[in-house]
Amino acid sequence: MNAPACIRTLVVDDEPLAREGLRLLLAADPEVRVVGEAGNGLEAVRLIREQRPDLVLLDVQMPEFNGFEVLARLAPGEVPAVIFVTAYDRYALRAFDIHALDYLLKPFRDERLHDAIGRAKAQLKLARMSDLSQRLLSVLTTYGERDGVPVPTSPAPAASPAEPWVTRLAIRDTGRVVFLDVDEIEYIEAADYYVQIHAGGKAYLHRETMQSLEARLDPERFMRIHRSAIVNSRRIRELRSEGRRDLVVVLTGGAELRVARSHREKFQHLR
């Protein structure tokens, strides 16, 4: 069996001790190789362009450019996967808006870094499969055109590009940021320009519209059942008919939500 491809990683932090700490933690992982370190934003931009890392552990506040300015100076094809590592919680929402893989607040437990690296490995593996599929399709197309052999016009389903569905949400809550795995969500309700997210018996107010959040959630898991409600299909405990046409969803936490008639058809195929 071939050895797994290493994740070429760049460590960017203006504190030498912080860079050393990250490097030591990453050294224990044979699938990660640190290809460089940068102590300021200008150096980070240069090294990202030179080294083309798969992943960057990126501080936010640094000399020259901050972490967001570093990413803004890169062309779309130059931007690697990013895990922010910072002492400031106030940038978390902005970080997830630009699809950062994770946001580690210093000081963090070693396990948090390893969890984030594990998530990066999964994302990069899917991205590499997609790239391999695209190259294979290109070869097939070339030979097909030359020899008159029909070729598929799109990759096979198993090698489709990685879906960009969000796996964690950063929710600002009274002077702190709560990170919520989407698996924990039972349902989501609209609240003007906000949504109310119900998970683990608690309700979190999150500043994002229903439409925007729905577009970021995996549609195989999250179902719009009403203009103002989305449910996690894995949290549905029961479907109950009321009258001749009304349908009610009962969730594992006990909440009962009415299904709009325009969305009833989705439940015919639910397993």
* pLDDT tens, position by position, 166-218: 888 887 766 667 788 899 999 999 876 678 899 988 888 887 788 888 888 99
* Of 21-25, 42-46, 130-134, the least confident: 130-134
The SS3 of residue 141 is: helix
- Give the model's pLDDT for residue 245: 73
Question: At residue 146, does pLDDT exceed 50?
Answer: no
Reported as a single tens digit per residue, the pLDDT across 4-29 is 578 999 999 999 999 999 999 999 99
How sure is the predictor about 48, in pLDDT bands with cuts at 50, 70 and 90? very high
What is the percent of the chain with per-residue pLDDT over 70, rounded to a whole number? Answer: 79
- Give the model's pLDDT for residue 64: 87
176 contacts 89 by C-beta, under 8 angstroms: yes
194 contacts 210 by C-beta, under 8 angstroms: no
* Among the listed residues 106, 84, 87, 85, the one whose alpha carbon sits nearest the alpha carbon of residue 95: 84
Pull the structure tokens for residue 125: 């593996």
257 contacts 251 by C-beta, under 8 angstroms: yes
Alpha-helical regions (H) of the chain: 16-27, 41-51, 67-72, 92-97, 110-147, 210-216
Question: At residue 142, does pLDDT exceed 80?
Answer: no
8 versus 245: the higher-pLDDT residue is 8
40 contacts 62 by C-beta, under 8 angstroms: yes
Reported as a single tens digit per residue, the pLDDT across 68-80 is 899 888 887 788 8
Interior/surface letters 106-142, b for 16+ CB within 10 angstroms, e for the rest: eeeeeeebeebbebbbebbeeeebeeebeeebeeeee
Residue 197 is which amino acid? I
Sheet of 202-206, strand order:
202-206, 194-199, 185-191, 229-232, 222-226
What is the percent of the chain with per-residue pLDDT over 90, rounded to a whole number? Answer: 37
Question: At residue 147, does pLDDT exceed 70?
Answer: no
Question: At residue 98, does pLDDT exceed 50?
Answer: yes
- Average pLDDT of every residue of the chain: 81
- Give the model's pLDDT for residue 208: 79
188 contacts 213 by C-beta, under 8 angstroms: yes
Question: At residue 42, does pLDDT exceed 90?
Answer: yes
- Give the model's pLDDT for residue 161: 43
